[in-house]
Structure formats: C-alpha cells, structure tokens
C-alpha cells in the first residue's frame, strides 16, 4: 500500500494540552483540519474535556449554560439501570441523550508538520443553544484569503447541526450560522467553485431510515445550500458497511477530486478510505476504495477514549504527497503520508 505512519506518532496527545477550566481534564485531542497559514502548518483541532470526577457512582455531564455563557455540570447516578453508559461517549437517559465530554476548537502550529506548538487558549468555544454539548470536527476551506470553517454543533435541544465560521487571522472568528439542519455533520466545502457554484460534502443522518451516507450539496454563497444529492452509500459486505462520512476537504488532481473519507463497520471499527470524483461533475464517482486505505492497527489507534478508530478531517496535498493528519482512538492526533501515485494505484 505504501502508507507511512510517523515514528513520532501520536504527534499530539492529551498531555500536550492544558484544560480550558481548572475543574476539567483533557479526554482527547483528535479530529483536526490542517491548512497552510503564514508559512506554517496550522491544525485546528477538536479538544474534548471531561469534568474531574473521583466518584465512580456519579456520571458527570458538562454542558453550556447559554444564559451565563459558562459550563455547568449535570450529575447522573451511574448505578441507575435506566441510564445507558455502554458507549463511553454518551449518557443515554429516558429523557434524552448527553455527551460525557464537551469539545472546543484549539490551534496548533508547526514548521515541519510533526512538531507542534499548541495554543494555551481555545480558538473557538461553544456559545449558543445549538452548541450546548460542544463544537466538533472542524474542516477548513481556503477561498479568496478567507478561511471557512465548517464544524458540528451539538445540542440536546436541537440535535447535530453544521455551522459555518470564517477567519482571516485565526484570532477572530465570524460566525455565519447554521448551514445544515439536524442531523448532519462531516461537512467539507470544496476549495474552489465548479462551474460557478460551491459544493460541499455532508453526512445527513435519517432518524427514520438509518441511512448514514455521504451527500453532495450546492451553494452560491456558502450559507444557503440545496440541490442535495446522495453521493455514496454504505456498502454491505465491505469495511464501510456501518456508516460513512467525508473526511478531509477534497483536493484537485489530474484524475479528479480526491476525497479521503471515513467509514465504519457495524462493529464501530473506523477506517480511512478514498473516493475519486469527476472534476467537473463532482456528484459522479470515478473510483472508491475496495479495501481501507488505513485501519486501526497501532496501539494508539486501537486503545483510547473510543478505541479502534482512525478518522481524518485534514489532509494537506503537496508535490505528489498526501499528508494525512488523523484522530486515533478519539484520543490523540497522528500523522501518515502516502504518495498520490500509490493512492491512485490503490483506487485503480
């Protein structure tokens, strides 16, 4: 296959991140987007925090109090049989679902792409009713000197929506509101217009029909989206038979738009694959990974906050090399690379 993991993996771990609040600890630093900014490699990372808790009988859930703008902690009785804690990420109650961690976005910078300096403070925090349970999994698309950030907003009141923000300096961020209704996530906006229109990959979740497929949508202004089409679906009998979602922002190659996506099996093993889309008609599929491009193998990919996961939001393509920054086991960030020619061979 010719995929090379860094020997320094994982390159960023929870120990590298300081919590945003004294009463929190870092549960994970993972799904990140990568972009070039001011001659450096910049990662916008999802940082998940959990409340400090020494009492195994209590399950603590952090959430945003929209009125005060502060985090509050909701307590559950971990021994209550009506509460389902079987998924380490969730607290499922008869009256609704919560997350065991709350995520914000944090920046890391590097000259060489492996050794990163991490900002002490969050870049973006949850701040409204749509973000009560956190903001997650950013993708950055660089268009006309503005960086557009699509990210997941999670709320027990409003579900999982996709919001858009933008920045020119990665210091101040302008919020543009919600661009996809619940439930949707994993939105990656193409880096240039195609025949005068913007396109975005996205992953709606049907409440009634259990489809977890990748769709493609069209826009004139990046805020209003329509002409929604189902692009690729989960595949019975394949590694991606459970759910799929876009990973990185697609990049242009001579052969077509290259999209690195994630797929999970029904057993929740998350792998990375690729799909090649027509350059002028990105809703047409040219090729798709029969086998995964990467699967969880290393200890740091198999064990963690939510194990057996490799998941990318961020790929940097430069001079024939596809640089993949990926979340491992919902805990840390790792790096791998593959030559484009090998990737195309994989998709032959």
Residues 261/212, Cβ–Cβ less than 8 Å: no
Using CB under 8 A as the binding rule, the residues of this chain from 165 to 184 that contact a copy of itself are 177-184
Name which position in 66, 73, 211, 302 contacts a copy of itself (CB under 8 A). 211
Rg (alpha carbons) of the chain, rounded to whole number: 19
Of these, 19, 122, 159, 242, which contacts a copy of itself (CB under 8 A)? 159
Q: How many amino acids of this chain bind a copy of itself (CB under 8 A)?
A: 44
CA dihedral (67, 73, 77, 83) positive or negative:
positive
Q: How far apart are CA 260 and CA 281, in angstroms?
A: 18
Is-contact 272 260, C-beta < 8 A? yes
Of the candidate residues 38, 226, 254, 267, the single one contacting a copy of itself (CB under 8 A)? 226
Minimum CB separation of residue 220 from a copy of itself in Å reads: 6
Segment 48 to 77, residues that bind a copy of itself, using CB under 8 A: none
Stretch that binds a copy of itself, among 29-37, 43-51, 215-223, 297-305 (CB under 8 A): 215-223
Which of 34, 45, 135, 160 is close enough to bind a copy of itself by CB under 8 A?
160
Two tokens at 90?
Answer: 């969730």
Question: Which is nearer to a copy of itself, 231 or 315 (by Cβ)?
Answer: 231
By CB under 8 A, residue 81 contacts a copy of itself: no
Which position among 227, 281, 299, 345 is part of the footprint of a copy of itself (CB under 8 A)?
227
Dihedral sign for Cα 241, 245, 248, 249, please: positive
Report which secondary-structure segment, H or E, holds 252.
Answer: strand 251-252
Instruction: Count Cα atoms within 13 angstroms, Cβ side, for 176.
Output: 17
Q: What is the DSSP letter of 14?
A: G
The 231-260 site mask, x for binding a copy of itself (CB under 8 A), equals --x---------------------------
Q: How far apart are CA 34 and CA 334, in angstroms?
A: 12
- Sign of the alpha-carbon dihedral angle for 283, 160, 48, 123: positive
User: Closest CB to a copy of itself among 234 and 275?
Assistant: 234
Write down the residue that tokens 């940097």 correspond to.
Answer: 316
Q: Residue 39 or residue 226: which is nearer to a copy of itself going by CB?
A: 226
Q: Does 153 bind a copy of itself (CB under 8 A)?
A: no
- Whole-number Å distance between alpha carbons of 19 and 196: 43
Which H helix or E strand runs over 280?
A: none
Regarding 156 and contact with a copy of itself (CB under 8 A), the answer is yes
Does the protein bind a copy of itself through residue 85 (CB under 8 A)? Answer: no
Q: Give the residues lining the site for a copy of itself (CB under 8 A).
A: 96-97, 129-130, 155-161, 177-184, 202, 204-211, 213, 215, 217-221, 223-230, 233
């Amino acid at each position: 296959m010719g995929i090379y993991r860094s020997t320094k993996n994982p390159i960023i771990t929870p120990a590298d991140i300081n919590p945003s609040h004294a009463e929190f600890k870092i549960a994970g630093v993972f799904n990140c987007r990568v972009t070039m900014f001011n001659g450096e490699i910049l990662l916008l990372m999802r940082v998940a925090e959990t409340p400090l808790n020494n009492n195994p009988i209590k399950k603590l859930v952090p959430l945003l109090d929209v009125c005060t703008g502060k985090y509050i902690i909701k307590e559950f009785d971990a021994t209550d049989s009506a509460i389902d804690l079987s998924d380490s990420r969730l607290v499922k109650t008869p009256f609704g679902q919560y997350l065991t961690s709350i995520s914000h976005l944090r920046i890391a910078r590097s000259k060489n792409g492996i050794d990163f300096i991490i900002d002490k403070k969050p870049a973006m925090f949850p701040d409204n009713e749509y973000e009560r349970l956190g903001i997650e999994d950013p993708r950055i698309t660089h268009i006309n000197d503005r960086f557009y950030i699509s990210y997941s907003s999670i709320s027990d009141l409003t579900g999982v929506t996709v919001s858009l923000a933008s920045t020119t300096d990665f210091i101040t961020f302008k919020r543009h509101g919600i661009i996809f209704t619940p439930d949707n996530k994993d939105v990656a906006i193409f880096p240039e217009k195609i025949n005068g229109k913007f396109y975005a990959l996205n992953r709606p979740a049907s409440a009634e029909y259990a489809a977890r497929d990748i769709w493609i949508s069209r826009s004139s202004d990046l805020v209003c989206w329509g002409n929604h089409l189902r692009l690729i679906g989960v595949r019975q009998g394949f590694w991606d038979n459970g759910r799929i979602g876009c990973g990185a922002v697609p990049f242009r190659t001579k052969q077509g738009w290259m999209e690195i996506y994630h797929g999970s099996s029904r057993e929740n093993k998350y792998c990375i694959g690729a799909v090649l889309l027509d350059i002028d008609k990105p809703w047409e599929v040219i090729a798709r990974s029969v086998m995964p491009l990467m699967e969880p193998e290393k200890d740091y990919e198999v064990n963690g906050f939510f194990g057996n996961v490799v998941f990318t939001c961020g790929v940097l393509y430069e001079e024939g090399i596809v640089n993949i920054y990926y979340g491992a086991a919902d805990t840390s960030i790792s790096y791998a690379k593959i030559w484009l020619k090998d990737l195309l061979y994989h998709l032959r």
